[in-house]
Structure 1
Amino acid sequence: MFEGFQLEMISLPEATLRVRYGGSGPPLLLLHGHPRTHTTWHKVAPLLARSFTVVCPDLRGFGRSSKPTNPHDYGAFSKRAKGRDCVALMESLGFDKFYLAGHDRGSYAAFRTALDHPSRVLKLAVLDGVPILEALERCGARFASKWWHWFFYAQPDKPERAILANPEAWYGGDAEAMGRENYEDFQAAIHDPETVIGMLGDYRAGIELDHLHDQKDRQAGRKLQCPLHVMWSLQDDLEDLYGDVLAVWAPWAEEKVTGAGIDSGHHMAEEAPVELACALEAFFSGR
């Protein structure tokens, strides 16, 4: 995986992140979702590295990156904290400004990074996500039945016990579809109790704190200052839940929101890597 990329553990003010980076050109930070690690980008990153310096970390709490010591410290698991990690990470690599894309839970961290640090993020791509506040405010029986895991994962103690009893049965995953090395990295993550708790902390922070940050920003009239491009998996349920996904995002951005669906399942970086890489390259390059 990631031929020509470097792999390092990088110490930051609040966390230590496992980071893979390579390529040349303008900096592009890619944030993975749950329950993946940065290796989910293994087919996409090399394609983008032809035009960008691509940086792929394990988010705080995920993979082999450090975990907050107190599992009940929702601030330490929050997207705001992960946004600070993103800025600190890119600074440590010599980049004051950067392009940013996030998938699934990574899309929430990416959104928060761009909102909290508008002078740092040049362009933002959101993959398979809407603001957490929007999701919770629109929650009805359909959302609760399809995305019940949001609320289960936010409960104390029970979700980690259920997951760790049989991680493969809980999360699934296929080595042939994912790629052997990516699959092995994913398996190591879901079998590690500290990592499972770290991933659940992301959901707990979402229910306890992240949506309040969204709410305060909306009340204050804060919006994304950079161009926003939204993509979603056509074989997943974002359109089914929200209809016009771009319309959900429109009030959160100063500029017109662009975007389109991608013909794949939820893990688009693994299932449609060429289409995704082409779309990201076109957006960030301005073509």
Structure 2
Amino acid sequence: MFDDFATEMIDVGETELFVRYGGSGSPLLLLHGHPRTHATWHRVAPLLAPHHTVICPDLRGYGRSGKPPTTPGHEPYSKRTTARDLVALMRTLGHDRFAVAGHDRGSYVAHRLTADHPDAVTRLVVMDGIPIGEALARADATFAARWWHWFFLGQTAKPAERVINADPDAWYGGGPEQMGAEAYEDFRRAIHDPRTVHAMCEDYRAGLGVDRAADDADRAAGRLITCPTLVLWSVKDDMEDLYGDPVAVWRSWAEDVRGGSIDSGHHMAEEAPEELATALLAFLEDQPVAATKANEPEATR
């Protein structure tokens, strides 16, 4: 897994991040989603490495990265705080400017990183996500039925950790056939650590509070992402069911938006790595991104 990539634990100020990096060329930061680790990229990163320096960290709280104590407002696990980690990480690795691509929860971090640090980000890719503030503003009965876990993981009156830690394998699912044997072991190591489970819940608690507030503030002020932005979504997930055209949604948040779909289920980096890598490389080289379509989006995240 990740042949010829270096591994390192890097101090970013408030915590430490575990990271793999390799390749050559302009830097590309890849951000995983919930409940994955950096290892979700192990089939994509080698396809990108001949063209770009590829950096794959575990986000704070996830995988092998640090898990700082939380606060009543959940700010230590906000996307703004996580974005600061990543700017520090990239500077430590010698990259003041870089492209960033995030999937699922990582897409929210990528969005916030680009919004808060526009001078650092050259291009933004968001996969299977729209801004948290937009998602919650649009939330209806269909959203609540399909994405109920946002509210289960995000509430504090009866914390979800007790339920999840009773049987993490049953709760999270997945297997080596989809993820790959080594990636699956990295994932299992993470989900069997109660500190990681707590941190992942904190990610969702921040999402319902401080993260939404940050997005709402940007929208009220009319702040837009100014760098080129690519939106990718899985046709067998439910993005089109919920939002119609995800590109149209993002045009309210960014000035230069293009997009396409990937013929896969939600975990596109594991299910369609070649198609995803092709789309990323085309965008990073300012070429048209081919889109696929499916008639019946299905499955949930």
TM superposition score category, shorter chain reference: over 0.9
Q: Which residue of structure 2 lines up, in the alignment, with residue 208 of structure 1? A: 209
Instruction: Decide whether the 8 Å contact of 1:108 with 1:131 is kept in 2.
Output: yes
How far residue 71 of structure 1 moved from its aligned partner, in angstroms, is: 5.4
2:280 matched to 1:280?
A: yes
Residue identity matched to 1:253: A
Q: Which residue of structure 2 lines up, in the alignment, with residue 45 of structure 1? A: 45
How far residue 286 of structure 1 moved from its aligned partner, in angstroms, is: 1.5
Provide the C-alpha distance between the structure 2 equivalents of 1:123 and 1:27, rounded to a whole number of angstroms.
Answer: 11
Most deviating of 155-164 and 81-90: 155-164
Q: Which residue of structure 2 lines up, in the alignment, with residue 97 of structure 1? A: 97
TM-score, normalization: structure 1? Answer: 0.98
Residue identity matched to 2:98: F
Q: Which residue of structure 1 lines up, in the alignment, with residue 185 of structure 2? A: 184
Q: Which residue of structure 2 lines up, in the alignment, with residue 137 of structure 1? A: 137
Q: Following superposition of structure 1 onto structure 2, how do residues 255-266 of structure 1 map, counting pairs within 5 Å?
A: 255=256, 257-266=257-266
Residue identity matched to 2:280: L
Q: Secondary structure at the match of 1:89?
A: helix
Provide the C-alpha distance between the structure 1 equivalents of 2:269 and 2:70, rounded to a whole number of angstroms.
Answer: 32
Deviations 1:69-128 (A, max 9, x none): 125451110000011111111000001100100000000000000000000000000000
Instruction: Decide whether the 8 Å contact of 1:71 with 1:198 is kept in 2.
Output: no
Deviations 1:27-73 (A, max 9, x none): 00000000000000000001100100000000011111001212545
Name stretches of at least 5 consecutive residues in structure 2 with no aligned partner: 288-301
Q: Secondary structure at the match of 2:255?
A: coil
Instruction: Decide whether the 8 Å contact of 2:73 with 2:210 is kept in 1.
Output: no
Instruction: Decide whether the 8 Å contact of 1:27 with 1:55 is kept in 2.
Output: yes
Provide the C-alpha distance between the structure 1 equivalents of 2:244 and 2:78, rounded to a whole number of angstroms.
Answer: 28
Q: Secondary structure at the match of 1:251?
A: coil
Instruction: Decide whether the 8 Å contact of 1:12 with 1:85 is kept in 2.
Output: yes
Residue identity matched to 2:253: W
Provide the C-alpha distance between the structure 2 equivalents of 1:71 and 1:271, rounded to a whole number of angstroms.
Answer: 37
Residue identity matched to 1:204: R
Judged with a 3 Å threshold, the aligned counterparts in structure 2 of structure 1 residues 8 and 73 are, in CA distance, closer, same or farther, namely farther
Q: Which residue of structure 2 lines up, in the alignment, with residue 26 of structure 1? A: 26
Q: Secondary structure at the match of 1:206?
A: helix
* Relative contact order, higher structure (CA 8 A, sep 6+): 1
Identity %: 61
Provide the C-alpha distance between the structure 2 equivalents of 1:99 and 1:208, rounded to a whole number of angstroms.
Answer: 27
Q: Which residue of structure 1 lines up, in the alignment, with residue 87 of structure 2? A: 87
Q: Which residue of structure 2 lines up, in the alignment, with residue 57 of structure 1? A: 57
Q: Which residue of structure 1 lines up, in the alignment, with residue 249 of structure 2? A: 248
Instruction: Decide whether the 8 Å contact of 2:264 with 2:272 is kept in 1.
Output: yes
Provide the C-alpha distance between the structure 1 equivalents of 2:188 and 2:201, rounded to a whole number of angstroms.
Answer: 16
Instruction: Decide whether the 8 Å contact of 2:70 with 2:77 is kept in 1.
Output: no
Provide the C-alpha distance between the structure 1 equivalents of 2:55 and 2:225, rounded to a whole number of angstroms.
Answer: 22
Provide the C-alpha distance between the structure 2 equivalents of 1:270 and 1:254, rounded to a whole number of angstroms.
Answer: 30
Instruction: Decide whether the 8 Å contact of 1:79 with 1:210 is kept in 2.
Output: yes
Q: Which residue of structure 2 lines up, in the alignment, with residue 225 of structure 1? A: 226
Q: Following superposition of structure 1 onto structure 2, how do residues 164-175 of structure 1 map, counting pairs within 5 Å?
A: 164-175=165-176
Instruction: Decide whether the 8 Å contact of 1:71 with 1:201 is kept in 2.
Output: no
Judged with a 3 Å threshold, the aligned counterparts in structure 2 of structure 1 residues 71 and 65 are, in CA distance, closer, same or farther, namely farther
Provide the C-alpha distance between the structure 2 equivalents of 1:202 and 1:16, rounded to a whole number of angstroms.
Answer: 17
Most deviating of 31-40 and 241-250: 241-250
Instruction: Decide whether the 8 Å contact of 1:223 with 1:252 is kept in 2.
Output: yes
Deviations 1:246-271 (A, max 9, x none): 1111011122x100111100000000
Provide the C-alpha distance between the structure 2 equivalents of 1:65 and 1:72, rounded to a whole number of angstroms.
Answer: 22
Provide the C-alpha distance between the structure 2 equivalents of 1:280 and 1:246, rounded to a whole number of angstroms.
Answer: 16
Q: Which residue of structure 1 lines up, in the alignment, with residue 297 of structure 2? A: none
Residue identity matched to 1:216: A
Q: Which residue of structure 2 lines up, in the alignment, with residue 16 of structure 1? A: 16
Provide the C-alpha distance between the structure 2 equivalents of 1:86 and 1:280, rounded to a whole number of angstroms.
Answer: 20
Q: Secondary structure at the match of 2:251?
A: helix
How far residue 158 of structure 1 moved from its aligned partner, in angstroms, is: 2.6
Provide the C-alpha distance between the structure 2 equivalents of 1:80 and 1:70, rounded to a whole number of angstroms.
Answer: 14
Name stretches of at least 5 consecutive residues in structure 1 with no aligned partner: none
Q: Which residue of structure 2 lines up, in the alignment, with residue 234 of structure 1? A: 235
Provide the C-alpha distance between the structure 1 equivalents of 2:261 and 2:72, rounded to a whole number of angstroms.
Answer: 36
Provide the C-alpha distance between the structure 1 equivalents of 2:71 and 2:242, rounded to a whole number of angstroms.
Answer: 31
